[in-house]
């Protein structure tokens, strides 16, 4: 019985038993890691478990078992289902976008295609009376709605100040978000990231996702794997092409020259048309064409030029990815030309309005004085009661900010309309026609022209970027624009999602514009700056309208800040700011920042150099190892496990076992060979000779030098494993 | 839970009571019809690897084995070993060029031209083969996979 057993055991034996129990427990714990057959595992598990149970109680650790069982149960509960707990994969969808939170939308991870510019007429301004005139004009959508009262209500909400702060703050926040996303992309994707180590091998072995259970997802996955391979193949082929440098350079210079001519021509055309439209503004008898000439010309340019650029770019013979970047850059330049011309037109209008305003202001002040004069004449009352005019009859000045806001809203709305129409006609109608006319047409509509529309990823992304630029510019003058844009983004996402799935086919040639998404983020950043400029300029220079908006009556918009500092903040802050605004302080600060930029730049270059050197070293080391290993023959404990798993032992290759990877440290060629055979014989055919003696004896007799497998598992596991290989140990 | 699934596959064959450890094996065709494996291009190989006779007939023990190896919490080394065996179509403990070609064709469903297939396989072999015998041994494979950024299933 156990009591007498306990008494009769000496301390040494207790120790020994304890160690064995620990060792068995370890085996149970690591059994999961072994590539054994289930049967073997069950057998071992039973063995070890029995042993532990029997002797653990004897050693006074009865509670340990319960705790162990509890632990096992908890692990099972926490582990989840054994065959994957991720639900079936669906087509990934962008989450709800907000107007400013671009990082979400930009996280596309899709491949880009050769740029094919679909209709992207962004500047068709039609007369949208339902939105920009009528009731809406005086709603919260536009700048003019906001009152210029300094504080509102009980909480003293400072409307003008908050308007300005929000306006400027949106830019600051967007800037931060964009830059942070770019930094993150550069970090993760690694700028030029993939250095080509094992590209193909990884693509082959690690690209399939084993949790996919849905047929459609599987199809998508196949397609994406295929395109990924094709991209690498194209990459590889480009690297192997031969070059005639001089001819190529000449052609490239020629192509660039032609394109600059095109851009200049389009700029001049727009300028010319803008001048004409200013003349038209003074006339009343305009035909439809003359009314909309500016927008028409702009959209035609936007339609015609990109394919033209593409054709010219064929002269250049760049790598497709680089060619794509050039193409996108040129379209960007075109867009900028359009945009700034539009802005100049707007500025002209604003100046006109300002002049008009002066006259109206004089007129209304005059009317007011007159009224008071009459009033006091009749009533002898010097109180300043406001004129009893219905608010709707008051003469209003032309609110130039609202006019600007209206322009932007018109732009956005027509952009929306054009996009939706384009998709409807260009993609959907085309698909319907091709599908149904194909039955009764001479040539195969589906295979050749016109076939189905291809999904133009880069065009769409560029469109989104430009749209965002518009919103940034217009948001200060028409706060409601942001809301409109959010609605637009939501609806267009579902709409385009449907259109793509239903009517589009993927491109034939695929490659990415950049390994990370930083190319588009860079464009976005540029647009952010460009849209920041006009707004900040107007805040600083142009006087606000005298009778509408939160800044009315002030000389400049940012006077609000001055006012706040004077009235709301304690006095010393005011003087502090006064000192801080001194140029003598600001110029050194700017110099310091410039120096910091320069320093950080050179530091980062140094790091890049260091990285390149390290990579080279690694490559050299790898090549050396390759050459060295041609002479080594050593064994790997893992190979033993592999062989055991083979269904039929006779399939074992008669040749000596293959070489190992980086696990062997210093195995000499000659002795290692002998070692192999010795090991095999010992472990496969007979019980382990190490079965005698204490468990913790290090695996000495196994041969010279540490064997790779053992190094991995530690002293406890080794003998344990060895024991398991043969028959159960005689200790039982 | 797993036993339930196993039973579902062939209710008339699989007994509900396993205490007598009956030796019931389900054929390959039944196993690959499971939704988790149905879309997998390597489903046949997976089942063959885990079966004792190499033909794809799984006993319940093998079944459990298979799913535990495919589980997310299985250790990386284990997955590496099984991955190697799965991709080894001719079961000679090496990944030779034909094995690679078969893998590639299954992955891309035959969308690549033969020259492209050839190019990809040669490049992959070139990248991973350390001992220059134009086959990938397990150590080559393991060396390559261990450096892969996202080798998880």
From residue A303, give the alpha-carbon distance in Å to each of A325, A461, A496, A622, B34.
Answer: 19, 17, 20, 52, 52
Q: What is the mean pLDDT of residues A219-248?
A: 75
Q: Test A217 with B39 for CB contact under 8 angstroms.
A: yes
Residue A110 has pLDDT above 90, yes or no: no
Residue A214 has pLDDT above 60, yes or no: yes
Least confident of A175-189, A343-357, A633-647, B70-84: A633-647
Vertex A456: Cα angle to A454 and A462 (nearest 5): 170
Q: Which residues of B84-115 are buried (b: 16+ CB within 10 A; e: fewer)?
A: bbbbbbebebbbbeebbbbbbebbbeebbeee
Residue A713 has pLDDT above 70, yes or no: no
Please give the pLDDT value at position A671: 41
Q: Which residues in A lie closer than 8 A to residue B130 (C-beta atoms)? A: 625-626, 629, 661
Inter-chain CB pairs, A–B, below 8 Å? 178
Q: State how far the Cα of A454 lies from the Cα of A447, in Å rounded to an integer.
A: 13
* CB contact set of A85 (below 8 Å; sequence gap of 6+): B72
Q: Which residues in A lie closer than 8 A to residue B8 (C-beta atoms)? A: none
What DSSP assignment string belongs to A453-480?
Answer: EEP-HHHHHHHHHHHHHHHHHHTTT-TH
Q: Residue A152 CB: number of other CB atoms within 10 A?
A: 13
What torsion do the CA atoms of A315, A317, A320, A323 make, to the nearest 10 degrees?
-50
Paired residues of B136 in beta bridges: B95
B 48-107 near A (Cβ less than 8 A): 51-55, 61-62, 64-65, 67-68, 70-75, 77-78, 81-85, 87, 91-94, 100, 103-104, 107
Band (A242; pLDDT cuts 50, 70, 90): low
Q: Which residues in B lie closer than 8 A to residue A38 (C-beta atoms)? A: 61-62, 64-65
CA distance A633 to chain B (A): 10
Band (A386; pLDDT cuts 50, 70, 90): low
Band (A601; pLDDT cuts 50, 70, 90): very high
Flag whether residue A650 sits within 8 Å of chain B, measured between CB atoms: no
Q: What is the mean pLDDT of residues A396-416?
A: 75
Residue of A nearest to B138 (CA): A660
DSSP alpha helix (H) spans, A559-659:
559-567, 571-580, 583-629, 637-645
Please count the residues of chain A: 732
Q: State how far the Cα of A632 lies from the Cα of B139, in Å rounded to an integer.
A: 13
Q: State how far the Cα of B139 lies from the Cα of A637, in Å rounded to an integer.
A: 11
**Residue A126 CA to its chain's centroid (Å):** 35
Output A263 or A189, whichever has higher pLDDT.
Answer: A263
Q: Test A204 with B72 for CB contact under 8 angstroms.
A: no
Residues A402, A477 contacting (CB under 8 angstroms): yes
Tokens standing for B14? 């699989």
Burial class (CB in 10 A: 0-12, 13-18, 19+), A425: exposed
Q: What is the mean pLDDT of residues A222-229?
A: 77
CA distance A201 to chain B (A): 4
pLDDT tens digits, A422-443: 788 878 888 888 878 777 777 7
Q: Which residues in A lie closer than 8 A to residue B108 (C-beta atoms)? A: 222, 225-226, 229
Residues A631, B133 contacting (CB under 8 angstroms): no
A 61-80 near B (Cβ less than 8 A): 79
Tokens standing for B23? 């030796």
CA distance A629 to chain B (A): 6
Q: What is the mean pLDDT of residues A696-721?
A: 41
Q: What is the mean pLDDT of residues A148-173?
A: 76
Residue A255 has pLDDT above 80, yes or no: yes
Parallel/antiparallel/unpaired status of strands B58-59 and A510-511: unpaired
* Interface residue of B2, B67, B93, B151 to substitute, partner A, most A CBs within 10 Å: B93
Please give the pLDDT value at position A651: 45
Q: Which residues in A lie closer than 8 A to residue B132 (C-beta atoms)? A: 626, 630
Q: State how far the Cα of A233 lies from the Cα of B118, in Å rounded to an integer.
A: 11
* Interface residue of A203, A211, A631, A661 to substitute, partner B, most B CBs within 10 Å: A661
Please give the pLDDT value at position A265: 86
Please give the pLDDT value at position A100: 35
* CB contact set of A519 (below 8 Å; sequence gap of 6+): A325, A328, A513
- Main-chain phi, psi angles of A505, to 5 degrees: -120, 155
* CB contact set of A159 (below 8 Å; sequence gap of 6+): A146, A147, A148, A149, A150, A151, A152, A550
Tokens standing for A680? 């095999």
Please give the pLDDT value at position A596: 96
Q: What is the mean pLDDT of residues A381-390?
A: 56
Q: What is the mean pLDDT of residues A617-634?
A: 70
Residue of A nearest to B2 (CA): A82
Residue A660 has pLDDT above 70, yes or no: no
Please give the pLDDT value at position A400: 77
pLDDT tens digits, A484-543: 899 999 999 999 888 888 877 766 555 555 555 677 888 889 889 988 888 888 888 888
Q: Which helix (H) or strand (E) holds A16?
A: helix A11-30
Please give the pLDDT value at position A542: 81
Q: State how far the Cα of A529 lies from the Cα of A541, in Å rounded to an integer.
A: 18
Q: What is the mean pLDDT of residues A96-124?
A: 28
**Residue A664 CA to its chain's centroid (Å):** 42
Q: Test B52 with A218 for CB contact under 8 angstroms.
A: no
User: ipTM of this model?
Assistant: 0.75
Parallel/antiparallel/unpaired status of strands A112-113 and A510-511: antiparallel
CB under 8 A, 24+ apart: contacts of A278-281: A278/A345, A278/A348
Which 3 state secondary structure label does DSSP give B58? strand
Please give the pLDDT value at position A717: 38
Q: What is the mean pLDDT of residues A648-659?
A: 43
Average pLDDT, chain A: 68
The residue behind tokens 């002797």 is: A55
CA distance B109 to chain A (A): 7
Q: Residue A372 CB: number of other CB atoms within 10 A?
A: 15
Band (A217; pLDDT cuts 50, 70, 90): confident
Of A198, A638, A658, the CB nearest to B94: A658
pLDDT tens digits, A34-85: 666 667 777 878 888 887 777 766 555 445 556 655 666 666 555 443 333 3
CA distance A702 to chain B (A): 22
Flag whether residue B29 sits within 8 Å of chain A, measured between CB atoms: no
Output A143 or A436, whichever has higher pLDDT.
Answer: A436
Q: Which residues in B lie closer than 8 A to residue A217 (C-beta atoms)? A: 39
Least confident of A40-49, A411-420, A660-669: A660-669
Comparing CA positions, the residue from B63, B31, B67, B37 lying closest to residue A83 is B67
B 131-150 near A (Cβ less than 8 A): 131-132, 137-145, 147-150
Comparing CA positions, the residue from A461, A459, A480 lying closest to residue A524 is A461
What DSSP assignment string belongs to A497-537?
Answer: HHHHHHHEE--SSEE-S-SSSHHHHHHHHHHHHHHHHHHHH
DSSP percent split of chain A into helix, strand, coil, nearest 5: 70, 0, 30
Q: Test A82 with B1 for CB contact under 8 angstroms.
A: yes
pLDDT tens digits, A283-328: 777 776 776 666 667 667 766 777 788 888 877 777 777 777 788 8
Q: State how far the Cα of A293 lies from the Cα of A282, in Å rounded to an integer.
A: 15
Output A307 or A130, whichever has higher pLDDT.
Answer: A307
Band (A597; pLDDT cuts 50, 70, 90): very high
Which 3 state secondary structure label does DSSP give A125? coil
Q: What is the mean pLDDT of residues A648-655?
A: 45
Low-confidence ranges of chain B (pLDDT < 50): 152-153
Residue of B nearest to A636 (CA): B139
Please give the pLDDT value at position A613: 92
Give the range with max mean pLDDT: A47-51, A450-454, A625-629: A47-51
- The answer to pTM > 0.80 is no
CA distance A626 to chain B (A): 5
Q: State how far the Cα of B73 lies from the Cα of B58, in Å rounded to an integer.
A: 22
Q: Which residues of A550-571 are buried (b: 16+ CB within 10 A; e: fewer)?
A: bbbebeebebbbeebbeeeeee
Output A448 or A91, whichever has higher pLDDT.
Answer: A448
DSSP alpha helix (H) spans, A31-86:
38-58, 62-79
Please give the pLDDT value at position A244: 74
Q: Test B131 with A236 for CB contact under 8 angstroms.
A: no
Tokens standing for A493? 């996402």
Please give the pLDDT value at position A487: 92
DSSP percent split of chain B into helix, strand, coil, nearest 5: 55, 5, 40
Residue of B nearest to A619 (CA): B127
Q: Test A636 with B138 for CB contact under 8 angstroms.
A: yes
Of A82, A638, A653, the CB nearest to B71: A82
- Main-chain phi, psi angles of B11, to 5 degrees: -60, -30
Q: State how far the Cα of A641 lies from the Cα of B95, in Å rounded to an integer.
A: 18
Q: Test A208 with B42 for CB contact under 8 angstroms.
A: yes
Residue A652 has pLDDT above 50, yes or no: no
Q: Test B127 with A201 for CB contact under 8 angstroms.
A: yes
**Residue A353 CA to its chain's centroid (Å):** 43
* CB contact set of B62 (below 8 Å; sequence gap of 6+): A37, A38, B50, B51, B52
Please give the pLDDT value at position A609: 94
Output A499 or A552, whichever has higher pLDDT.
Answer: A499
Q: Which residues in B lie closer than 8 A to residue A647 (C-beta atoms)? A: 51-55
* Interface residue of A86, A194, A202, A205 to substitute, partner B, most B CBs within 10 Å: A205
Residue A591 has pLDDT above 90, yes or no: yes
Residues A471, A99 contacting (CB under 8 angstroms): yes
């Amino acid at each position: 019985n156990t009591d007498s057993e306990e008494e009769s055991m000496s301390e040494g034996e207790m120790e020994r038993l304890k160690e064995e129990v620990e060792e068995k427990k370890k085996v149970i714990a690591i059994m999961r890691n072994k590539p054994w057959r289930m049967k073997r595992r069950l057998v071992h598990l039973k063995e070890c478990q029995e042993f532990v149970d029997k002797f653990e109680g004897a050693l006074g650790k009865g509670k340990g078992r319960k705790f162990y069982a509890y632990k096992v149960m908890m692990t099972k509960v926490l582990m989840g289902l054994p065959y994957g707990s991720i639900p079936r994969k669906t087509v990934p969808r962008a989450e709800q976008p907000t107007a400013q939170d671009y990082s979400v939308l930009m996280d596309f991870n899709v491949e880009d295609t050769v740029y094919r510019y679909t209709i992207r007429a962004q500047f068709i301004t039609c007369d949208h009376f339902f939105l920009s005139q009528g009731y809406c004009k005086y709603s919260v959508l536009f700048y003019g709605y906001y009152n210029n009262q300094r504080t509102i209500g009980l909480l003293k909400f400072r409307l003008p100040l908050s308007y300005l702060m929000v306006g400027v703050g949106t830019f600051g926040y967007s800037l931060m978000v964009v830059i942070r996303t770019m930094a993150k992309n550069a970090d993760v994707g690694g700028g030029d990231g993939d250095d080509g180590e094992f590209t193909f091998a990884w693509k082959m072995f690690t690209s399939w996702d084993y949790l996919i259970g849905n047929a459609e997802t599987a199809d998508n996955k196949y397609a994406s794997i295929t395109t990924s391979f094709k991209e690498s193949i194209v990459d590889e082929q480009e690297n192997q092409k031969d070059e005639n440098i001089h001819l190529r350079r000449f052609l490239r210079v020629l192509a660039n020259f032609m394109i600059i001519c095109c851009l200049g021509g389009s700029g001049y055309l727009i300028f010319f048309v803008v001048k004409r439209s200013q003349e038209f503004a003074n006339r009343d008898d305009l035909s439809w064409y003359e009314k909309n000439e500016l927008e028409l010309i702009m959209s035609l340019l936007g339609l015609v030029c990109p394919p033209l650029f593409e054709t010219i770019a064929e002269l250049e013979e760049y790598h497709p990815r680089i060619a794509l970047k050039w193409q996108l850059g040129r379209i960007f330049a075109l867009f900028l030309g359009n945009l700034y011309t539009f802005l100049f037109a707007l500025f002209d209008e604003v100046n006109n309005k300002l002049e008009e305003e002066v006259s109206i202001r004089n007129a209304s002040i005059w009317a007011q004085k007159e009224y008071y004069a009459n009033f006091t004449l009749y009533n002898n009352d010097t109180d300043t009661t406001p004129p009893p005019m219905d608010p709707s009859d008051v003469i209003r000045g032309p609110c130039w900010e609202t006019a600007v806001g209206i322009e932007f809203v018109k732009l956005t709305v027509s952009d929306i309309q054009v996009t939706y129409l384009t998709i409807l006609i260009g993609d959907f109608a085309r698909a319907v026609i091709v599908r149904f006319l194909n039955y009764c047409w001479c040539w195969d509509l589906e295979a050749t022209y016109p076939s189905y529309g291809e999904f133009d990823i880069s065009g769409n992304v560029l469109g989104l970027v430009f749209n965002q630029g518009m919103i940034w510019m217009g948001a200060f003058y028409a706060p409601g624009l942001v809301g409109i844009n959010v609605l637009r983004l939501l609806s267009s996402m579902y709409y385009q999602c449907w259109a793509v799935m239903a009517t589009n086919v993927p491109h034939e040639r695929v490659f990415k514009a950049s390994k990370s998404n930083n190319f588009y983020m860079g464009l976005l950043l540029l647009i952010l700056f460009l849209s920041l400029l006009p707004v900040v300029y107007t805040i600083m220079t142009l006087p606000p309208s005298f009778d509408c908006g939160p800044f009315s009556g002030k000389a400049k918009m940012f006077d609000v800040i001055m006012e706040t500092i004077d009235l709301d903040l304690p006095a010393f802050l005011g003087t502090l700011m006064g000192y801080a605004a001194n140029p003598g302080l600001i110029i050194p600060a700017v110099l310091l920042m410039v120096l910091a930029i320069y320093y950080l730049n050179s530091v980062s270059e140094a790091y890049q150099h260091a990285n390149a050197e390290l990579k080279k070293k690694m490559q050299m080391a790898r090549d050396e190892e390759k050459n060295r290993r041609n002479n080594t023959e050593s064994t790997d404990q893992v190979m033993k496990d592999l062989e055991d798993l083979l269904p039929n032992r006779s399939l074992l290759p008669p040749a000596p076992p293959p070489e190992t990877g980086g696990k062997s440290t210093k195995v000499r060629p000659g002795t290692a060979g002998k070692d192999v055979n010795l090991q095999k014989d010992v472990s496969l055919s007979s019980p382990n000779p190490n079965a005698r003696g204490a468990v913790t004896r290090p695996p000495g007799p196994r041969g010279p030098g540490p064997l790779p497998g053992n190094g991995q598992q530690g002293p406890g596991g080794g003998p344990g494993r060895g024991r398991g290989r043969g028959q159960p140990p005689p200790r039982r | 839970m797993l036993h339930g699934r196993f039973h579902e596959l062939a209710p008339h064959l699989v007994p509900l009571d396993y205490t007598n450890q009956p030796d019931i094996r389900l054929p390959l065709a039944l196993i690959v019809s499971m939704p988790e494996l149905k879309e997998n291009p390597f489903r046949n190989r997976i089942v063959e690897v885990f079966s004792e006779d190499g033909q794809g007939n799984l006993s319940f023990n093998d079944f459990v084995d298979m799913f535990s190896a495919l589980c997310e919490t299985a250790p990386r080394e284990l997955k590496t070993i099984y991955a190697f065996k799965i991709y080894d179509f001719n079961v000679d403990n090496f990944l030779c060029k034909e094995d690679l070609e078969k893998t590639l064709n299954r992955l891309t469903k035959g969308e690549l031209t033969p020259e492209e297939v050839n190019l990809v396989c040669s490049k992959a072999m070139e990248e991973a083969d350390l001992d220059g015998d134009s086959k990938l041994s397990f150590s080559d494979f393991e060396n390559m996979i261990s450096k892969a950024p996202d080798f998880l299933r």
